[in-house]
A and B are shown apart, each in its own frame.
Chain A
Amino acid sequence: MSTILELKNVQMRFGATEILRGIDLSISAGERVALIGPNGAGKTTLFNLVSGRFAPSAGEVWLKNQRIDGKKPYAIARLGLARSFQATQVFSKLTVYENLRCSVLLGLGYGGQWLTSVSRLKEVTARTEALMEQTHLVKQRDTLAQALTYADQRALELGITLGGGADVILLDEPTAGMSQTETLFFLELIKTATQGKTLLMVEHDMGVVFGLADKIAVLVEGKLLAFDTPQAVRANAAVQDAYLGDFSVSVSTSA
């Protein structure tokens, strides 16, 4: 399989604090990768570097054979990379339908169009309807995003991320704060929605991680400790030592 996203010796420093200390990571097209690690390991920072929120202090990031480190978020998004946020980022005063439509419009390159009414764009309407069904938000169609329940907001966040049609998806703790039932439901949703796409996902729920990921990347104190199949990571002595005393416990309880 061909490499779609690659990090080469990526480092990130904020002042004297080193957050990432040289990450090498290569993700193949179509792979589902879970990024795990304790709080403060640098997972979200890594997301921010890949999606263009910050430029790395050193190192290179490559997406589809193009160097993207230092590029603006919108430029990276146009190359087909979409990310979700740990703290929900939706358009609070727009309805669910309008929220999803924004993402569809941008994905189809209609963002600056000002000569046709949006209701005339049949393709946009069709895609938005489909996205609404996919994320199970049909009933909330005309609800303002700020009035949604937490779980529905997370579904909307996911829908907005997927709506642009990107083929590299970064999800930052999509199931955080959800109940067990909601998590299971969400897991299925992510699975079907990212079929055939490349997925990089920060996740704490080990049930989700082992249920979804082809590979697991373990990040500890700014270093990549392991990057392998779930079985190999579970067996990895270094991972168990450094990070997961209760790793096996939480796996067995949630499995």
Chain B
Amino acid sequence: MNAAPWIAVVAGVVLAPELLHSTWALTLLSQIGIATIACLSFNLLLGQGGMLSFGHATYTGLGAYGAIHTLNAARAAGVDFPVSLIPLAGGVSGLLAATVLGFLSSRRGGTALAMVTLGLAELVFSVALMGFAFFGGESGIAGNRVTESAPWEVTFASPVEMYYLIAAYALLSALALYALTTTPWGKMLNAVRDNAMRVEFLGTNPQTIRYRAFLFSAFFAGISGGLAALLFERVTPDALGLERSASLVLFTYLGGIQSFVGSVVGAVLMVLANVGLSSLTPAWLLYVGLAFVFGVMFAPQGLTGLLQTAMAQPQAFYVRHGGVLLLLLGSLLLAMAGVAALVEMAYQLQLEASLGPNVAFGAFQLHINRWQDWAAACAIALSGGWFFLRLRHALIVRLGAKA
């Protein structure tokens, strides 16, 4: 194993709070750490095992509930339970949930698996909405991470302490999940992904391989949920919702499912979209959806795969095709700007009564009652899209002719 990237990551993670002092930035980084564990655990299922689970939030969510209840129960009983171990209670909760739910999900692969996970997630979510005592209804269950138990004076009251706890769990989880992929079982999981039938005829039941993947994955998903419970000190049934599950699928895919790094990239994108994009525009979910559709159509290898392909090209490639690539990028940006302008104006149209007719769009002031603005946005979106498709085609033809 090449240790250099790991050391660089550890150094970056340790030094980050020295550079970013604001609470806001620390919370953002903490959320990225939590999302990284969730995406990596999902990648074990999808990337390594080829299992498209639509219900991964079931495990992160139940992990969060397990953690917050453990925290509260320890306080109520007056037990001196170290807060730093609460995420493990989340992991165990996820694991316990997977012993049953994962068993049901992993009986078959492919489409059947996707459907079963979707059904089970919906089931758990419905139960969460009804079970007021355990799930707390709409307001959820609150907790307080600052307890009497404070080994070495660490109370986790400050965001920095919380950040380091999350960072430690994220690094250890990443290392553990990576190590798992190098074991014989991890290799068999790849084999089951590629051809489960062949594995069966070689002497192993693919179900047991898949089931174990669910157990591991749910354990780490539960840790991620447990950390989220500690960070926000509240867990609501939303944590188990399909929106959360879909978000994990979307961003892990956008980051790139073939590689380990892809999941980390996906996690960063997820938090930036949830926190950054959502504060910029009410249409942020629409943009996420568009990005996903675009990714599936034009970059199925994900952002990481795209970058890897780009870096693998020799310099001569860029000398030769650099112009076309720049034009391609330009036309894509143009199309995106056009679409974004249309979306923003459409949203404003709906909310005109409260927000007025003017849309601030970068350096421009768009006016939803001016037809020229609509026409211009349409023209930019369409011409950008048209140029993008033409240039892409031209590039493929050129590359094909060379090969």
Give A residues with C-beta under 8 Å from B: 51-52, 72-74, 77-78, 82-83, 85, 89-94, 98, 101-103, 105-107, 110-119, 121, 124, 160, 164
A92 and B183: CB pair below 8 A? no
Q: A98-B187, A114-B180, A114-B184 are in contact. Are A106 and B204 (CB under 8 A)?
A: yes
Given known pairs A77-B201, A91-B198, the reply for A118 and B184 (CB within 8 Å) is yes
- Contact check, A111 vs B188: say whether CB atoms are below 8 A apart: yes
CB contact between A106 and one of B194, B202, B216 (< 8 Å): that residue? B202
Residues in A whose Cβ lies below 8 Å from that of B186: 114, 118
- Nearest first, the 10 A-B pairs at minimum CB distance are A77-B203, A91-B194, A114-B185, A113-B184, A110-B184, A111-B204, A102-B191, A89-B198, A106-B202, A117-B182
Q: Does more than half of chain B's interface fall in helix, strand or loop, or is it mixed?
A: helix
Which of B191, B197, B202, B212 is A112 in contact with, Cβ under 8 Å?
A: B212
The reply to whether B194 and A92 contact each other, CB–CB distance below 8 Å, is yes
Docked pose: A22 CA to B200 CA in angstroms: 27
Q: Is B195 positioned at the interface, with any CB of A under 8 Å from its CB?
A: yes
- A78→B203 contact, CB < 8 A: yes
27 pairs, A vs B, C-beta closer than 8 Å: A51-B201, A72-B200, A72-B205, A74-B200, A74-B201, A74-B202, A74-B205, A77-B200, A77-B201, A89-B197, A89-B198, A89-B201, A90-B194, A91-B190, A91-B191, A91-B195, A94-B191, A101-B187, A105-B187, A111-B185, A111-B209, A114-B212, A116-B184, A117-B179, A117-B182, A118-B183, A119-B182
In the complex, chain A residues whose CB is within 8 Å of the CB of B179 = 117
Q: Judge whether B183 and A106 touch: CB under 8 Å.
A: no
Distance from A66 Cβ to chain B, minimum over Cβ atoms (Å): 15
In the complex formed, the residue of B with least CB distance to A98 is B187
- List residues of chain A with CB within 8 A of the CB of B343: none
On whether the beta carbons of B194 and A93 are closer than 8 Å, the reply is yes
B180/A106 in contact, CB under 8 A: no
A142 to B187, CA, bound (A): 15
A63 to chain B, nearest CB (A): 14
What class of interface size applies to chain B in its complex with A? 20 to 34
Instruction: Determine the distance from Cα of A52 to Cα of B208 in the docked complex, in whole angstroms.
Output: 18
A117-B183 CB under 8 A given contacts A73-B201, A82-B201? yes
Contacts of A77 in B (CB 8 A): 200-203
Tell me if B378 is interfacial: C-beta within 8 Å of chain A: no
Given A94-B190, A113-B184, A114-B212, residue A106 in contact with residue B199 (CB < 8 A): yes
Closest chain A CB from B33 CB (angstroms): 25
Excluding A89-B198, A110-B184, A111-B185, 5 further A-B contacts by CB distance (< 8 Å) are A74-B205, A91-B198, A98-B190, A113-B183, A118-B183
Q: Which residue of A112, A119, A121, A160 is within 8 Å of B209 (Cβ)?
A: A112
The distance in angstroms between the C-alpha atoms of A25 and B185, with both chains bound, is 38
- Asked if B204 contacts A112 (CB within 8 A), the reply is yes
Give the Cβ gap from A8 to chain B, nearest Cβ, in Å.
23
Residues of B within 8 A of A (CB): 179-180, 182-188, 190-191, 193-195, 197-205, 208-209, 212, 216
A111 lies within 8 A of B198 (CB): no
Instruction: Give every chain A residue within 8 A of B193 (Cβ-Cβ).
Output: 93
A77 to nearest B CB, angstroms? Answer: 4
Which of B185, B203, B209 has most A Cβ within 10 Å? B203
**Which B residue sits closest to A115, measured CB to CB?**
B183
Inter-chain contacts of B212 with A (CB < 8 A): 112, 114
Contact of B184 among A83, A91, A92, A121 (CB under 8 A): A121
Docked pose: A72 CA to B179 CA in angstroms: 31
* Chain B min CB distance to A96 (Å): 13
* Residue from B184, B187, B188, B202 in contact with A160 in the complex, judged by beta carbons closer than 8 Å: B202
**What separation, in Å, do the CA atoms of A74 and B205 have in the docked complex?**
6
CA distance A82 to B198 in the complex (A): 11
The distance from the CB of B38 to the nearest CB of chain A, in whole angstroms, is 21
Q: Is the CB of A111 within 8 A of B200?
A: no
Question: Could you say which residues of chain B place their CB within 8 Å of the CB of A83?
Answer: 201
Nearest CB of A to B254, in Å: 20
Q: Are B203 and A94 in contact (CB under 8 A)?
A: no
Q: Which B residues are CB-close (under 8 A) to A107?
A: 202-203
Q: What's the least CB distance linking A58 to chain B, in Å?
A: 24
With A93-B194, A111-B188 as contacts: A118 and B182 at CB distance below 8 Å: yes
Q: Which residue of B lies closest to A145 (CB)?
A: B194
Shortest Cβ gap from A176 to chain B (Å): 18
> Which residues of chain B have C-beta atoms less than 8 A from A73's C-beta?
200-201
B324 nearest CB across to chain A (Å) = 27
Bound together, the chains give a CA A115 to CA B216 distance in angstroms of 13
Complexed CA–CA distance, A49 and B212 (Å) = 29
